[in-house]
A and B are shown apart, each in its own frame.
Chain A
């Protein structure tokens, strides 16, 4: 018995050694087969999971928790593929010293990329462990007349007296090898956890005052920092007297570098008081450098633009048409408006920097921190800790550099910096203003035979980690400033400003042009759904306008132009659940509208039906109900998907009815919740979401999919209620009143 076992072990070791040698040889990388999801760029199995002798599993992901429930979903995936219970698993996420580099947690891609990688990595690890179990019982390579089973990490090798655990095999299991993706993830019928609504891992701490957020972190000797920003983007610091501020109680350091000003104090309220005093001690130049607020869309369109035709179909002259229609839609600068202002902790020790951050991408952040601080990347560790929901690129990355600059000024003591409310509203990169112009022609049958879509907008991502420049706010304000990176286009098919500009509808002739405006008079970056929000708002509003011209019910009109059965199914499901009645008479003060999209034209399908009431006197719109259907392929956690979709609908209702960043020539003026109101409880609709589960289809990103359809559904409901078509966001009372009731 002993001999063969040893020889098998030797064989196993030899195979392991061969695998590693193979993976290190450059030609194998060059020719490496494409692996699924994020496994392709992070190919080592032990980069994704470790089986520990103490009966636990450590799972690593480059994706991070933003309140979307991703860690719960990824843990379900790992537990299901490995056949272990969830409490055995510890999730490690977003740590430059430990986890795979998966770029940013953005664009509704975590299940598709990290989830897929984990499914394959865990399936392969399970396979390796099963083979080791066979080896242990001298059955390797033999024809088996029994099935193997795994129950919570215990492998049953055909009989009750032949069991071995993952933990016993953990020393032999060679996971330090390149993944092959040859072990198939489980088929839908074998899944036990994927597809179930496991409760979120993070919620209990959040309702009992546990340490849940970066804001709750405390380190020994920790100091508190605050930043005093200039009044606006271009203002220069003329003079500054730090004398009195330095004498204030608790103040440890006043940091000035160019027009970057910061305070470090022993206590938080002392840092805030010192910051107020700093404001009085600084004199700034008067700059009137922002564009005119009342003419912003014209102003942006007059800036130089690069024109990219992103879709073109059908050549030759325009077909003869019974009717043509043109319309232009606008979306204002929109804030992320996180409830918790951005926060970071930093500590310098022995020339190395550790930053705790709620950045969406710890690796790209580290690249920019290295450039801004002239430190080698190997001297910086960025560790993700959850923050307040961000919905895109807010101040999270910026405050990480702020904290690092202050920590560098105080020796080895850690510094926690949280922005004040006005910092967040005044300096976050907003969702860009957009203009969308549409043109269509209808034939005698009422079918669209020609379609053009023109969208003018800035870039929709100025996140850190670009090749050139530094995309962190403080870097631009230093005495030796480092310029931001050149604005970049996010290419189709996902797109940036042109996200969802290419219609999903089947038109014989179309032309879609992205007019990309590089110059950014107001700081902008990624906001949930990017250009998809305004493009879908425009397309889906326009579809209703065309349906009216064609005298066809809006639901029916959409279906006539679609040939995708899944698109059909979500529209019909939403209409059915909402009790949609074709050709319901309008102009009664109450209305109903529908909006639909397949997010990015490659992620989840969503249709939303909205009921709205319009107050005749004030023009105020109240969305009373929103009924949605979503198809996100195979669903990992239905409750999580519904939560994200409900949230998307309510947030988009807020954007659509209320939100626009206020500014004048001198700077951003909407600096608190009075200046930037969002939807409140008395205004929130009753929301219901139906999930069309498709266990045999791949999982599709869903977190941002409801934004655009909701906006259009509301505008369509307002048009139905009043007869007035509102094309400029937000649908604010004074606009609705002017358009509908003159």
Chain B
């Protein structure tokens, strides 16, 4: 019943044996042991599970793994590490832009997808790009500051 699916995750070729309709989220979290993408709603409503597939921010909780076959999947682990942070990750630390942080994966990934396209995105464009990413702690103000800071860094 299981299908062999080939993915390119954070630059590495990975092969998993799962049913093709399995949401990408569970493959990333449980098969590849990547913690970044989070289960929030399973309905594509909250954004906690966001990853980047071929440059687009997608909701991995409702994205069948078969659709990612052969595509480039980037998770937050693929952006940078604690020793070598991506500008967006660094900006979130510099701005202390987290409370519980459960949503932060989605914030970082959605913001990265936007800034890779348009590092000079305005406050309004950032807000619009993050409109589908929910935060319950109310860290929005810091997240906006972090994205603006990262944008400046990436524009250079």
Residues of A within 8 A of B (CB): 66-69, 197, 199-200, 202-213, 215-216, 218, 249, 267-269, 272, 337-341, 386-389, 391, 418, 420-421, 639, 643-644, 646-651, 653-654, 672-674, 678-682, 684, 686-687
Contact = CB atoms under 8 A, between A and B. Distances in A.
A269 B43 contact: no
Contacts of A672: 41, 43, 45
Given A388-B102, A681-B131, 7 more contacts: A199-B96, A205-B82, A338-B136, A421-B43, A680-B132, A681-B127, A681-B140
Interface of B: 1, 18-19, 22-23, 26, 29-30, 33-36, 38-43, 45-46, 48, 75-77, 79-82, 85, 89, 92-93, 96, 98-105, 108, 126-128, 130-142, 144
Nearest to B35: A216
Given A646-B138, A647-B139, A650-B138, A208 B43 contact: no
A566 B153 CA distance: 42
A209 B134 CA distance: 18
Contacts of A207: 76, 85, 89, 92-93, 98, 101, 104, 108
Nearest to A199: B96
A200 B94 CA distance: 10
Nearest to A654: B138
Nearest to A68: B99
Nearest to B81: A208
A674 B45 contact: yes
A647 B143 CA distance: 11
Nearest to B102: A388
Contact of A646 (B1, B30, B142): B142
Main secondary structure on B side of the interface with A: loop
B142 A643 contact: yes
Contacts of A678: 134, 136
Contacts of A202: 98, 101
A651 B99 CA distance: 12
Nearest to B85: A208
A210 B43 CA distance: 24
A643 B85 contact: no
A647 B102 contact: no
Nearest to B47: A339
B127 A391 contact: no
Given A207-B93, A673-B41, A674-B45, A218 B136 contact: no
Contacts of A205: 82
List the 8 closest A-B pairs by CB distance, nearest first: A67-B100, A650-B138, A389-B100, A209-B36, A647-B138, A206-B101, A388-B102, A209-B77
Contacts of B33: 218
A52 B131 CA distance: 49
Secondary structure at the A interface, as helix, strand, loop or mixed, is loop
A680 B127 CA distance: 9
A682 B128 contact: yes
Contacts, number: 173
A287 B131 CA distance: 38
B30 to A, nearest CB: 6
24 contacts: A200-B98, A206-B104, A207-B92, A209-B35, A212-B35, A213-B38, A218-B33, A267-B18, A269-B19, A337-B136, A340-B38, A340-B102, A389-B99, A389-B100, A421-B42, A643-B99, A648-B138, A649-B138, A672-B43, A679-B140, A680-B131, A681-B128, A681-B131, A684-B141
Nearest to A648: B138
Contacts of A216: 35
Given A213-B102, A651-B138, A204 B128 contact: no
A18 to B, nearest CB: 47
B102 A339 contact: yes
B101 A203 contact: yes
Given A420-B42, A647-B99, A389 B137 contact: yes
Contacts of B42: 272, 420-421
A341 to B, nearest CB: 7
Contacts of B96: 197, 199-200, 203, 639, 643
Contacts of B101: 67, 202-203, 206-207, 212
B141 A650 contact: yes
B22 A269 contact: yes
Contacts of B133: 681
Nearest to A218: B33
Contacts of A203: 92-93, 96, 98, 101
A421 B49 CA distance: 13
Contacts of A653: 138
Given A673-B45, A674-B45, A215 B81 contact: no
Nearest to B88: A207
A699 to B, nearest CB: 19
B130 to A, nearest CB: 4
A650 B80 CA distance: 30
B22 A209 contact: no
Contacts of B93: 199, 203-204, 207
Contact of B140 (A199, A341, A644, A650): A650
A687 B142 CA distance: 10
Contacts of B138: 646-651, 653-654
A672 to B, nearest CB: 6
A218 B32 CA distance: 12
B134 A391 contact: no
Contacts of A681: 126-128, 130-131, 133, 140, 144
B110 to A, nearest CB: 10
A275 to B, nearest CB: 11
Nearest to B128: A682
A268 B26 contact: yes
Given A207-B89, A208-B77, A389-B136, A340 B40 contact: yes
B103 to A, nearest CB: 5
A389 B41 contact: no
B64 to A, nearest CB: 11
B154 to A, nearest CB: 16
A339 B77 contact: no
B36 A339 contact: no
Nearest to A386: B100
B89 A651 contact: no
A249 B18 CA distance: 11
Given A421-B42, A673-B43, A681-B130, A209 B102 contact: no
B129 to A, nearest CB: 8
B76 A208 contact: yes
A673 B135 CA distance: 12
Nearest to A626: B141
A67 B102 CA distance: 9
B40 to A, nearest CB: 5
B112 to A, nearest CB: 11
B91 to A, nearest CB: 9
Contacts of B77: 208-209
A56 B19 CA distance: 48
B100 A66 contact: yes
Contact of B98 (A206, A213, A648, A654): A206
A476 B33 CA distance: 36
A686 B89 contact: no
A212 B103 CA distance: 12
Given A208-B77, A681-B130, A647 B40 contact: no
A737 to B, nearest CB: 23
Contacts of B75: 209
